[in-house]
Structure 1
């Protein structure tokens, strides 16, 4: 066993890690819902001092206070505690649970219990849960980080918090049952307004006016965020690899469907000539920025052997996780030979190589760049015993040199290497 100090530091790292923090935030969300339900119950049956509801309420406040202190000190990410305390989410947390502490009410001599109407704002803690999702390394953690359900939950939480806070404010001002206040706010939000439940006081009407103005801005803003996330969704055509059968990763721009078809057909032909039953099940996963309709039609032709995933490994950290890169037999990173800017294209290839090497160093990489000078730039980041890097410029120079020694050799070699055949049989 190691020293107690190291053991304590290791335990602290586990408790404050991404996965543990995400689980804690989920538990806080459940506690916040219970916190809100206790308030609704108290509007019908007030809690008596010393009852189990009274102590449960104080226990939840103590739990929230401990988390609040942690976030403005150890969990502030290097920021000054005062700046962390003034963060809007932290101020909302403070406003939601501090008025419920009996000690504060007795100390100031002012009844602050009506501030409990802001308890629903704790539902906005989904923002903290969203921030911890990328750190979760579960079996589907990568899918969680980029899913559409996060902004959808944000929209639902915002609407629920707005409805509850508005209803609680109307209930306090108008002294009506809580369910009547919820009914009034809901019918007002949907612009139905039957008129059977109305606010009568001037303060109540002013509060409803303010809350309506907030709702007019809040709900469209959240809905636009959800729409933007839907518009960013990428196409995934074909089966996602599971590791049960061999597969390779292809990263490059799909521009020439005929050339890609010849390239893919030649790979399948070599596999069938190899004779191995395992490699006959080989699958290719193509990572591309945009899959055009002709490539989607090609994927339907090779339904089980070819998968197209839209996205960039540079801007979407979860893309390589979705493609199961650590389980791949090999990965190919190819430059676009039709690019008008060879230097920029090789730089893009270099960044893609870095992204793959940051995920795994055990998968062999086969890299193709345009310029010969880019080979010396990328080579130091590759494993000489496993990875291969080449350039189209170097290949052309070698073919030209060979053609000078043996006229027509380049044409012969090109025709031998190029496979413009039909779909392999068998």
Structure 2
């Protein structure tokens, strides 16, 4: 996620800020309110903004209920235009208070901010676009700025690095899963056949995917004993399928944490916790370290 419009805390100079922090005047005062949350005005601005976002999402959800919309539709329309006007002013304020408005406009959060107001205006001319207003839920990512959850943001960064470091292992694992569902789906097509709902190999592969991932929509089910036996094996295999990528990322995450924080290794035989990262054997009992 681009950090161009969030979690920016008083850079020391303009070149260290991707958007160009104003040097003074009304732009700097507005910037501190809109982009920074370590002042009372900034915190209040963020809290009010998040509250409005929450209410706007609730309005969109309620408006999708036919019975409720039929009675309160005119109120929801008025509220939607009110929210859109507020978010439009906020979007313009973000553009005018930075030195590089173009960079903000094309950043991740800049695009999200634009998409949160554009659908309402477009829906005025094209009613079918009304559903796109739900993209505003993405703006809830800014909740991390309000609650000053810096530790959680850092953890997300570490998780992202762990996933990036294990991308080849995960790709290999997913390739294996694809081969499994293709083979088992084809077998199920041969076993059950069109008379039991498995009308084609792609449909059978779809069933295999929903079964291995333990989703199981139930729209297609095997009817023969052999088919049910194969389905049972796939369901059991699904539990392991879910655990493998989690274990890969978790192991990389733990390794990264140990390497960066300079942790020690503990012997599983005698419990001696004092070992360097490059140690292979326990200095107390001589057991092989994990």
TM bucket, shorter chain? 0.3 to 0.5
| Higher RCO (CA 8 Å, separation ≥ 6 residues) | 2
TM-score scaled by length of structure 1: 0.29
Bigger fraction of residues in strand: 1
Larger Rg: 1
TM-score scaled by length of structure 2: 0.40
